Amino acid sequence: MAVATAFFYLFATLTVVSGFMVISARNPVHSVLFLILAFFNSAGLFILLGAEFLAMILVVVYVGAVAVLFLFVVMMLDIDIARLREGFMQYMPVGALIGVVLLIQLLLVFGAWFISPDIVANPNVPIPPPDEVTNTEALGQLIYTRYVYFFQASGMILLVAMIGAIVLTLRHKDGVKRQDIGAQVARTPETAVEVVEVESGKGI
């Protein structure tokens, strides 16, 4: 139990520090790297809670796709930090007001928050015994049996959304040579090959 507690404080501390560095780092590339570190530590917290499926999804989806995409976009955009900081002070009053409102909300939440005695008296361990199925296996059995049609429907909706986004953002530029597969397949030797008789001594 002491080892699990030590790992909890380690992951929690690294997650909070990484989250703070995301918003305080001067370089946007460093912010994305700290975001990836925060995702990894959050995955460690999920594993300690017995939610290995959420930890796997967090690493595979967010670290493997979203965060890496952010990193590529930031590196390709070549953001000028000095230009972004121009006019920073004119937005300071609005930012300060929002910060004060958030601080008041946090004080209200933590001021009224308490641990229920029933929860302390009856702790529930989320990690299942070895003879039972894991939550990943239980979710798989549930999704692919009872909710398989809803799962397939959600996949079709995401596919249609992806195709719609590609169609809406596709722009054809003038002067760009594009491939016409139908015209290529329909070509014949008569239209594709031209035999030219060159006189002796006048070739290349």
CATH code assigned at 55: 1.20.120.1200
Residue 185 inside a domain? The answer is no
Residue 158 inside a domain? The answer is yes
Residue 87 inside a domain? The answer is no
Residues 139 and 70 in one domain: no
Of 80, 105, 123, the residue at which a domain comes to its end is: 80
pLDDT of 6: 83
Q: Confidence class of residue 160 from pLDDT cuts 50, 70 and 90?
A: very high
Average pLDDT estimate for 33-39? 87
Stronger pLDDT, 148 or 114, i.e. the higher one: 148
Average pLDDT estimate for 148-169? 88
Residue 14 inside a domain? The answer is yes
Overall domain count for the chain: 2
Stronger pLDDT, 12 or 118, i.e. the higher one: 12
Alpha helices in the chain (DSSP H): 2-24, 28-48, 52-57, 68-77, 81-84, 92-112, 117-121, 135-143, 148-169, 181-185, 189-192
Under 8 Å between Cβ of 143 and 151: yes
Of 80, 109, 124, the residue at which a domain comes to its end is: 80
Of 39, 64, 80, the residue at which a domain comes to its end is: 80
Domain of residue 14: give its range: 1-80
pLDDT of 109: 73
Angle in degrees, CA 88, 92, 96, rounded to 5: 145
Encoding tokens for residue 71? 């990193």
Residue 107 inside a domain? The answer is no
Residues 74 and 138 in one domain: no
Residue 152 inside a domain? The answer is yes
Output the pTM of the full model.
0.53
Minimal CA–CA distance to 19: which of 10, 32, 29, 6?
32
CA distances from 94 to 80, 143, 159 (A): 23, 46, 40
Reply yes or no on whether the pLDDT at 164 is more than 70.
yes
Under 8 Å between Cβ of 135 and 47: no
Encoding tokens for residue 103? 């601080």
